[in-house]
Every structure is written in C-alpha cells, then in structure tokens.
Chains A and B, each alone.
Chain A
Amino acid sequence: AQKITQTQPGMFVQEKEAVTLDCTYDTSDPSYGLFWYKQPSSGEMIFLIYQGSYDQQNATEGRYSLNFQKARKSANLVISASQLGDSAMYFCAMRGLAVGGSNYKLTFGKGTLLTVNP
C-alpha cells in the first residue's frame, strides 16, 4: 500500500519569492516514482515534475525542483521566483515501479492550495 501526506492545506507566497510545498510518502515498493501535479481552478491536472527513487540527482524542470530525501521519505516541491499564475492546488503523487502489481496507478495526497500574492 502507498500513502502520500501533504500537511500544508494552504500556503501563501509573495510574487518572485521561492516556496516549498511539503510531501512525505510511505510505501513498501523497493522502487517507485514520485510526481507533482498542478491543478488550476479550471480543473485540469498538469504534470510538473518526476523523481525516480533510483535517481541519484534531484529532478529539476525550469522553475520547479524536487528536494528528494529518500531516507526521510520526503519529496518536497520547490517553486522558485513565484508568479501569479502559480496560484493553484498542488498534488504530490506516487506509484510503484516493480514489475507486476499495481504499478500503473497513481496515489495522490490531499493537496496544498498555493496563493501567490502580488
């Protein structure tokens, strides 16, 4: 079984500042993938960044970076230079990568609502 915990229901950040959204996970899978998605008010889930448990380096995608600490089972999302358009719900998710089993579906956390203030 997999579990994702996002302890911050809401976060506020000033435009142009950096913000960290927390995510901790629990799994019995020996290898797994961690994802972050953004959900604007329109409802569509937008994929942001991926980290494999076997990756040696933390993932980065433009202004998004993932602070992966395997021993602490955390996968925090860092958004640098926040923009007004970053205001949205952010979801952390994971899935197992082992052959067989339910390695195709994502398990999501409850999300963090980020508000970027001008």
Chain B
Amino acid sequence: DTGVSQDPRHKITKRGQNVTFRCDPISEHNRLYWYRQTLGQGPEFLTYFQNEAQLEKSRLLSDRFSAERPKGSFSTLEIQRTEQGDSAMYLCASSAGGGFSGLGTGELFFGEGSRLTVL
C-alpha cells in the first residue's frame, strides 16, 4: 500500500499524559499537513511542512503541541500534558504541490487518522 499511513489508529490516554502520533506520507510527496477533526466538524488545519521545514503553525497548535518532520520523510505530532479538549481525530495528509494550471490540482491525500480519547 503506497498511501498515507498513520499510527496508532486509536489512542486512549489519561489526562496529563503525553502522546505521539506518526505519519508516513506518500513517498514522492514533499508537502505534509496535520489537521484536527472534532465530532460534527470539518478538518481544521494545524501545521504544514514542505520537506523538513515547518512553514506554518495554526493558532490551534498550543505550546503543548509539537510537530517534526526529520529528513523530510515521516512526521510526528506530539501532545504533552493532554487535556480532555484534545480528544479528536488527528489527520495527516500529503501532497505533491501543484495548484497551477498544468501542474495538477494539488489535492491532499489523507491517511485514515489517529483517534485520540483523553479520559
């Protein structure tokens, strides 16, 4: 399977614990995104990497959240001192860029997500 993979798919943790999610993008994609989706809402942008550089972080990403993409391949999203409000689906996506005529649509390819439940 050459799609975006995320691990773990489900994580249940107690408030105050740290959790880490991993995302392996499609190998030829240089862009990687993290989104968060809560119940009944659409995905909300968290952060964006182009290769290994983190180019944007949403205001949603508090100082308890940190994301890395060493060597421009896989990415990790760590949440420290989890709170119940962190309970959500964390979606990773990758793309090859594009968005200009003749260069493809630049659509995002999503993984199946990592569902976090904080008790």
Instruction: Pick from A33, A37, A45, A46: contact of B105, CB below 8 A.
Output: A33
Q: What 0/1 pattern do residues 83 to 114 of B give for CB contact below 8 A with A?
A: 00000010101010101110001111111110
Contact B45–A47 (Cβ < 8 Å): no
Contact B48–A104 (Cβ < 8 Å): yes
How many Å lie between the Cα of A100 and that of B46 in the bound state?
19
Q: What 0/1 pattern do residues 48 to 79 of A give for CB contact below 8 A with B?
A: 00101010000000000000000000000000
Distance between B77 CB and nearest chain A CB, rounded to angstroms: 16
**Residues of chain A at interface, number, CB under 8 A:** 27
Question: Closest B-chain residue to A96, C-beta based?
Answer: B99
**Cβ of B115: which chain A residues have Cβ within 8 Å of it?**
43
**Cβ of B48: which chain A residues have Cβ within 8 Å of it?**
104-105
Across the A-B interface, the 8 shortest Cβ-Cβ residue pairs: A108-B42, A45-B110, A50-B105, A44-B112, A43-B113, A47-B107, A97-B99, A105-B45
Residue ranges of B at the interface with A (Cβ–Cβ < 8 Å)? 31, 33, 40-45, 48, 50, 55-56, 89, 91, 93, 95, 97, 99-101, 105-113, 115
A–B complex contacts, Cβ < 8 Å, 29 sampled: A33-B105, A33-B106, A35-B105, A35-B107, A43-B91, A43-B115, A44-B110, A44-B111, A44-B112, A45-B43, A45-B93, A45-B108, A45-B110, A46-B110, A50-B105, A95-B99, A97-B99, A104-B55, A104-B95, A104-B99, A104-B106, A105-B56, A106-B45, A106-B108, A108-B43, A109-B42, A111-B40, A111-B41, A111-B42
